[in-house]
Structure formats: C-alpha cells, structure tokens
C-alpha cells in the first residue's frame, strides 16, 4: 500500500510539473500589447462614455447601455459601430470598470491605428431585472443571455442607428465579447451575417453553440465575413471551446484569426489583448487575400493538447515550405512507439491525433508515463514531452 501511495504521489507531481511547463502553445503573431496601452494619458484627445436608455420591446422595459464616442465625434460624420459584450457575472459597466476600453481606444486613436467607430457596451442579460443574480449558473440566467439576441437585433441596433451618427450597413458593424459575451458574439454574429461583417470572441464560454451550428454553410460564412477573431489563454480551462471552433473552421477552410496567449487564464489579460488587436483590424479592407488567415511564419511544433492526456491527444505543427515530414513518438528509452506522419506535405498548419490505446503503436496499449514526440521537416527538427495518465 505504501509503494502504491508513493507511485501515485510521484505521478501526481509529474502531472503538476508537466501541466505547468508544457501547456498548449502556438505562435500567435499578436504579442502582448506594449506597456501603458490601457493607461490614461493626459496629453492626447479623449473620447466620451455616456449612459443611454432605450426601450426594449423584447423585454418590455427601458434598458441602459454605455456608448463610447471617439475623440472629435461629430454628427457631420458617419461612424462604424462595435458592440462589445460582457461576461456571465457582469453588466454594461464590466468592460468600462475593468477593461478600460476608453483608454485603450483613445491611445490607439492617438497612434492613428483605428478606423472611426463608436463602441456600444450593453447589458447582455435581456430580462426585466437585468442585474447579475446571486446564482449566475441557473437556466433562467442563461436564457436571459440567449434572449439578448432579439433585444440586440430588434431593439438596441435600431436605437443606436437612429440616435447616433453611424453607418448602418453590415460592413460597418462588428460584435465582440469576453467569455459569455464571446459565446454570444459567435452565436449572434455568425447567425446574422446580414447584420455583422466582423466577429470577435475572447475566451468564449460553453454557451457557444457547436461549430456545425455556428457555420452550417462554410462557403457562405467565408464569403460574407470580413474578419473572424478567436483568442484564448493557454491556461484557461475553457480553451477547448475556442480550440473546437478553430479546428472546425480550419477543416472547413473558413478564414479566421486564432490567437493563443501564453500562460494566460480566463482573465483580462486575454480580453484586453483581444480588444486591442481586434479593434485595429476591423472596418479595414484586407491588404491581401491571406489577411484573414492564420499566417504560417515559420516552422513550429506545438505542445500537445490536452496534456496530461488519456488516451487521446492532439499534436499541431506548422511548416512554411513544402517537403517531407516525419512525426514520431518515442518512450524515454528512445524506443520508437509510433509513426504519426511520414510523407510529403505542402506548407500549412497540421494537426494529428495520437491514441495511446491504438494498436498501431509498437508496444500496443501504452502505460502511464512521459513520452517524447519529434518532428523532422527538412533541416528543422524539434521534440517535446507529453504525459499519459491512466
């Protein structure tokens, strides 16, 4: 019994160590924003955040919304509109109080990195009492977030279109959000491509519909979307939501940007990062046909996900040039366990599943432990460790 306990303790220690050091990774091309990007700067022009009330026929009451108008806002000009949604426990003030979008946007305007836009921060909980309840994990609460789709489309957007000096075509409208709001952005934005041409999801929550529901017609979605952004932290327990959507979009060849922020969790590091970059990408014409697609900037072997795993894990890699590629799995003694790839491949991003129970491994069903996988592509070679726990 003592030996069994010692073995379990060692295995648990290995899990903790490897889960920390070998979290899922991918070169995003979107590093953390520069220092001070979200700080107030007194020597630049500033936008204005005001609270407005609009009547919601969906709910039957007046509802409050915050609206950011950029520096120099004038009714003699027409502006694009970004709808920015909060998380499950927040309200229309969550972004303003915690994300400082007014500072982020003011600073970007000062650097001439944004197209003119107003930013609408609504309460994404469409119910008579839209305050966050004591228990946010109830079906009634979830239904209020679902109900916001009708409030947004039928009540809020018409209010904004008639109250502010804005452009009203789909090409001039974007929706993005964090967590629950990220799921709403995907659910509503992709369902209403006649209303939104830009969609962003930062750490999308499990309220997100399945990928096949979101994109039932990949070619139509690809033709109508101008920008689709999905980002998440590598240490976020909800990473599987974003990963699943990305996998489907990549399989169906729907252009999108997928960004993983290293060692970040379900937090404002990811959400403010998303707003910082997404706001710079929207309402602009692509500079090339590949502008919307995750770029292949170099060779890379990513950490497997999930890790630790049992019994299936995925390994992602990218190659910027075509050539012969091998991807093999070894044990710690250097014995070859399995050959996952051994063929000529074109430049691109690839993902392979490895099943520790698969009979094509040289040892049959594998025992718990640490294994090594290695890629060889031209002169590029890299290895990483993964942990199987049964």
Q: How many CA atoms lie within 13 A of 57 on its CB side?
A: 7
- Can you tell me the mean pLDDT for 36-60? 98
Split at pLDDT 50, 70, 90, the class of 296 is low
Q: How many CA atoms lie within 13 A of 179 on its CB side?
A: 18
Q: What is the pLDDT of residue 364?
A: 64
Q: List CB contacts of 151: < 8 A, sequence separation 6 or more.
A: 56, 58, 59, 63, 122, 126
Is a pLDDT exceeding 50 seen at residue 7? no
According to DSSP, the β-strands at 323-330 and 336-345 are: antiparallel
Residue 381: closest CA among 319, 306, 308 = 319
Split at pLDDT 50, 70, 90, the class of 361 is low
Split at pLDDT 50, 70, 90, the class of 46 is very high
- Can you tell me the mean pLDDT for 371-385? 94
Structural contact between residues 80 and 105, judged by C-beta atoms closer than 8 angstroms: no
- Can you tell me the mean pLDDT for 148-155? 98
Residue 79: closest CA among 40, 121, 114, 122 = 114
Q: Residue 233's beta-bridge partner residues?
A: 261
Q: What is the pLDDT of residue 41?
A: 97
CA distance 232 to 262: 9
- Can you tell me the mean pLDDT for 12-34? 49
Is a pLDDT exceeding 90 seen at residue 133? no
Both tokens of residue 338?
């399995």
pLDDT above 90 covers a percentage of the chain that reads 67
What is the reported pTM?
0.70
Give the tens place of pLDDT for each residue, 302-321.
888 888 988 888 888 888 88
CA angle 160, 166, 220 (to 5 degrees): 90
Q: What is the pLDDT of residue 23?
A: 30
Q: What is the pLDDT of residue 285?
A: 67
Helical (H) or strand (E) element with 94: helix 94-94
Q: What is the pLDDT of residue 306?
A: 85
Is a pLDDT exceeding 70 seen at residue 3? no
Helical (H) or strand (E) element with 273: helix 268-281
Structural contact between residues 90 and 35, judged by C-beta atoms closer than 8 angstroms: no
Phi, psi of 336 (to 5 degrees): -70, 125
CA distance 112 to 64: 31
Q: What is the pLDDT of residue 14?
A: 41
Structure-model confidence comparison of residues 278 and 296, the more confident one: 278
Residue 62: closest CA among 128, 147, 121, 119 = 128
Helical (H) or strand (E) element with 240: helix 239-251
Q: Residue 329's beta-bridge partner residues?
A: 338, 373
Q: List CB contacts of 36: < 8 A, sequence separation 6 or more.
A: 107
- Can you tell me the mean pLDDT for 368-384? 94
Residue 96: closest CA among 67, 116, 69 = 67
- Can you tell me the mean pLDDT for 1-8? 43
CA angle 97, 103, 104 (to 5 degrees): 105
Question: Mean pLDDT in the chain?
Answer: 88
Is a pLDDT exceeding 60 seen at residue 62? yes
User: Could you give the strand order of the β-sheet that contains 80-85, starting from the edge strand earlier in sequence?
Assistant: 48-56, 61-69, 117-122, 80-85, 173-178, 198-202, 227-233, 257-261
The distance of Cα 205 from the centroid of its chain, to the nearest Å, equals 10
Split at pLDDT 50, 70, 90, the class of 357 is confident
Give the tens place of pLDDT for each residue, 158-211.
999 999 999 999 999 999 999 999 999 999 999 999 999 999 999 999 999 999
Q: What is the pLDDT of residue 15?
A: 38
Both tokens of residue 300?
């890379």
Give the tens place of pLDDT for each residue, 329-341.
999 999 999 999 8
Residue 55: closest CA among 120, 123, 150, 151 = 151
Q: What is the pLDDT of residue 226?
A: 92
Is a pLDDT exceeding 90 seen at residue 110? yes
Give the tens place of pLDDT for each residue, 252-288.
888 898 999 989 999 999 999 999 999 999 998 654 3
CA distance 113 to 116: 10
Residue 202: closest CA among 232, 226, 180 = 232
Split at pLDDT 50, 70, 90, the class of 363 is low
């Amino acid at each position: 019994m003592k030996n069994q306990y010692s073995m379990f303790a060692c295995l648990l220690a290995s899990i903790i160590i490897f889960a920390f050091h070998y979290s899922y990774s991918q070169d995003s091309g979107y590093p953390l924003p520069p220092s001070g990007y979200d700080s107030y700067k007194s020597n630049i022009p500033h936008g204005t955040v005001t609270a407005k009330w609009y009547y919601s026929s969906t709910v039957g009451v007046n509802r409050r919304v915050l609206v950011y108008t950029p520096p120099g806002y004038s009714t003699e000009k027409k502006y694009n509109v970004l709808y920015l949604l909060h998380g499950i426990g927040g309200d229309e003030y969550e972004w303003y109080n915690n994300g400082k979008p007014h500072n982020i946007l003011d600073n970007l305007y000062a650097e001439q990195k944004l197209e003119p836009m107003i930013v609408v921060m609504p309460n994404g909980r469409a119910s008579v009492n839209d305050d966050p309840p004591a228990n946010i994990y109830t079906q009634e609460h979830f239904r209020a977030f679902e109900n916001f789709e009708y409030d947004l489309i039928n009540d809020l957007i018409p209010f904004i279109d008639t109250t502010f000096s804005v452009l009203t075509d789909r090409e001039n409208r974007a929706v993005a959000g964090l967590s629950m709001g990220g799921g709403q952005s995907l659910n509503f934005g992709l369902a209403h491509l006649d209303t939104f041409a830009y969609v962003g999801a930062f750490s999308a929550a499990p309220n997100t519909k399945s990928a096949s529901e979101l994109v039932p017609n990949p070619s139509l979605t690809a033709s109508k979307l101008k920008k689709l952004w999905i980002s998440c932290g590598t240490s976020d327990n909800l990473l599987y939501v974003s990963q699943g959507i990305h996998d489907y979009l990549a399989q169906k060849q729907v252009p999108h940007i997928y960004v993983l922020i290293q060692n970040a969790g379900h937090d404002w590091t990811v959400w403010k990062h998303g707003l910082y970059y997404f706001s710079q990408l929207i309402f602009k014409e692509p500079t090339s046909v590949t502008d919307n697609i995750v770029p292949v900037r170099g060779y890379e072997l990513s950490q497997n996900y999930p890790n630790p795993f049992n019994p299936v894990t995925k390994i992602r890699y990218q190659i910027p040039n075509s050539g012969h590629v091998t991807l093999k799995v070894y044990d710690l003694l250097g014995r070859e366990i399995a050959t996952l790839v051994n063929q000529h491949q074109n430049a691109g991003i690839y993902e392979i599943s490895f099943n520790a129970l698969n009979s094509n491994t040289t040892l049959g069903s594998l025992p718990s432990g640490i294994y090594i996988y290695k890629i060889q592509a031209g002169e590029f070679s890299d290895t990483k460790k993964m942990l199987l726990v049964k």
